[in-house]
């Protein structure tokens, strides 16, 4: 009952005593800060530390985000630059390879005493029987049907159809192709005919003749279509078992028809400085 009746007085007295105690403590242990201040600072320190950590975490996260955005943009630019450099490198490589091929063709032109027209292949027709190419030169460049077409190291075919700015090339392996040829070692003459994927075959050489694997086949010049002495291919197989009187001779052309990109069209005999035509081989 006493505490109920005087609880307000007791509370006020307790507060006064606490204040006096704190004041006395502050006078006795004066260090520039009161006990209340110390308690407040002690209670605020963990909160301040937590707030500082939160602010630093947010600041670090934002900084990392800004850096990542910058790195992503820089990475995107670097990828674009790498792509452009790779494209340029590919173009330079293609130009270099084309220059090498043209240099090889030029060496063939310098070796042979003829006038050549260089042309780029723009189309291929590789049917079951027909093996033909289309080139980007035609009548406007002095080309005519029947002209021989060459690629290192020798003959690959001849022109069959010629338009203003393009022409069709019948390859040696076309089954409608026929070329007068001879065996370089023995000078035996025959007719080379296309055999499609099997290459070519030489006919009309007697079985009594000496033809061996590895023999080189050249143009004979008898038809007045192909000059004499152009490289054609080499013998890869001979067969005497047929009932007929002629050898069955299979020939592999020197040229790789699957990788051709540029060719030379033999457009005529080269003129000497005096104006006279140089004789064909």
pLDDT tens-place string over residues 50-61: 667 776 777 777
Q: Which residue has the higher pLDDT, 204 or 11?
A: 204
Compute the distance between CA of residue 227 and CA of residue 147 in angstroms, rounded to an integer.
Answer: 10
Model confidence at 279, pLDDT cuts 50, 70, 90, reads very low
pLDDT at 69: 73
Which of helix, strand or coil describes residue 13?
A: helix
C-alpha angle 59-63-68 in degrees, rounded to nearest 5: 145
Res 280: pLDDT:
40
Backbone angles phi, psi at 140, to 5 degrees: -65, -20
Quote the pLDDT of residue 218: 95
Helix, strand or coil for residue 169? strand
- Residue 26 — pLDDT band, cuts 50, 70, 90? low
For the cut 60, the answer to whether the pLDDT of residue 25 exceeds it is: no
Domain coordinates in residue numbering, the chain: 7-111, 115-269
For residue 183, give both structure tokens.
Answer: 């065996």
Q: Who has greater pLDDT, 273 or 77?
A: 77
Token code pair at residue 109: 């032109």
Per-residue tokens: 68: 């990542």
Q: What percent of the chain has pLDDT over 90?
A: 36
What length does the chain have? 281
pLDDT at 258: 84
Task: Please give the Cα distance from 40 to 117 (Å, whole number).
Answer: 100
Q: Note the pLDDT of residue 107.
A: 62
The alpha helices in the chain, defined as continuous H runs, are 2-5, 7-28, 35-111
Q: By mean pLDDT, which of 39-48, 156-165, 230-239 is the weakest? A: 39-48
In the numeric block, the tokens 């009594």 are attached to 208
pLDDT value of residue 277: 47
CA atoms within a 13 Å half-sphere pointing along the CA-CB vector of 274: 3
SS3 205: coil
Least confident of 80-89, 121-130, 163-172: 80-89
Residue-wise pLDDT for 202-244, tens only, equals: 999 999 999 999 999 999 988 888 989 899 999 999 998 877 8
β-bridge partners, 188: none
Tokens of 80: 């674009």
Is residue 280 a contact partner of residue 227, using CB atoms and an 8 Å limit? Answer: yes
pLDDT on residue 237: 94
pLDDT for 97 equals 60
Predicted local distance difference test score (pLDDT) of residue 143: 95
pLDDT greater than 70 at residue 91: no
Q: Above 90 in pLDDT, residue 37?
A: no
The whole-angstrom separation of Cα 41 and Cα 50 is: 14
Tell me the pTM: 0.61
More confident residue, 276 or 60: 60
**What is d(CA 224, CA 222) in angstroms, rounded to the nearest whole number?**
6
Place 275 in a pLDDT band, splitting at 50, 70 and 90: very low
Which of 152, 153, 146, 150 minimizes the C-alpha distance to 177? 146
Residue 157: CB atoms within 10 A of its CB come to: 26
Query: What is the CATH number that goes with domain 115-269?
Result: 2.40.10.340
- What local confidence, expressed as pLDDT, does residue 165 receive? 94
């Amino acid at each position: 009952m006493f505490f109920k009746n005087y609880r307000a007085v007791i509370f006020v007295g307790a507060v006064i005593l606490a204040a006096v105690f704190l004041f006395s403590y502050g006078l006795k242990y004066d260090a520039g800060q009161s006990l209340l201040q110390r308690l407040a600072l002690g209670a605020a320190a963990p909160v301040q530390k937590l707030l500082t950590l939160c602010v630093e975490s947010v600041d670090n996260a934002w900084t990392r985000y800004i850096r990542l955005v910058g790195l992503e943009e820089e990475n995107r630019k670097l990828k674009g630059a790498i792509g452009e450099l790779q494209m340029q490198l590919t173009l330079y490589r293609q130009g270099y390879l084309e220059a090498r091929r043209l240099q090889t063709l030029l060496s063939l032109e310098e070796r042979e005493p003829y006038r050549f027209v260089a042309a780029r292949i723009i189309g291929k027709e590789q049917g079951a029987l027909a093996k033909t190419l289309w080139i980007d030169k035609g009548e406007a460049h002095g080309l005519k049907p029947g002209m021989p077409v060459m690629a290192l190291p020798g003959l690959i075919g001849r022109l069959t159809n010629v338009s203003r700015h393009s022409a069709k090339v019948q390859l040696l392996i076309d089954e409608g192709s026929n070329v007068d040829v001879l065996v370089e070692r023995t000078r035996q003459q025959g007719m080379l005919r296309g055999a499609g994927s099997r290459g070519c075959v030489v006919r009309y050489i007697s079985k009594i003749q000496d033809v061996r694997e590895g023999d080189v086949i050249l143009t004979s010049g008898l038809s007045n279509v192909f000059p004499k002495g152009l490289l054609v291919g080499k013998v890869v197989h001979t067969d005497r078992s047929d009932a007929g009187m002629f050898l069955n001779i299979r020939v592999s052309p020197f040229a790789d028809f699957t990788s051709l990109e540029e060719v030379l069209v033999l457009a005529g005999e080269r003129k000497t400085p005096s104006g006279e035509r140089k004789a064909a081989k």
